[in-house]
Amino acid sequence: MNKITLEEAAKNSIDYLQRAAAGESFLVVQADRPVAKIISALILQD
């Protein structure tokens, strides 16, 4: 899982969402603390 800052996620949200749709995953951190994950919705499907 790739680690990105909250600022990076906000600035480049379309890029990270497209990459997640292609299978990548991201841990979003703020001040080195995890705040969110960006993953493909396909992973969550049953």
Q: What is the pLDDT of residue 1?
A: 93
Structure tokens at 41: 């919705």
Name the fold adopted by 2-44: YefM-like fold (3.40.1620)
pTM beyond 0.95: no
Q: What is the pLDDT of residue 42?
A: 85
Digitized pLDDT (tens) for each residue of the chain, 46 residues in all: 999 999 999 999 999 999 999 999 999 999 999 999 999 988 777 5
Of 12, 17, 18, 22, nearest to 38 by C-alpha is 17
Measured between alpha carbons, how far is 46 from 24 in angstroms, rounded to an integer? 19
Domain boundaries, the chain: 2-44
Q: What is the pLDDT of residue 46?
A: 57
Structure tokens at 9: 């996620």
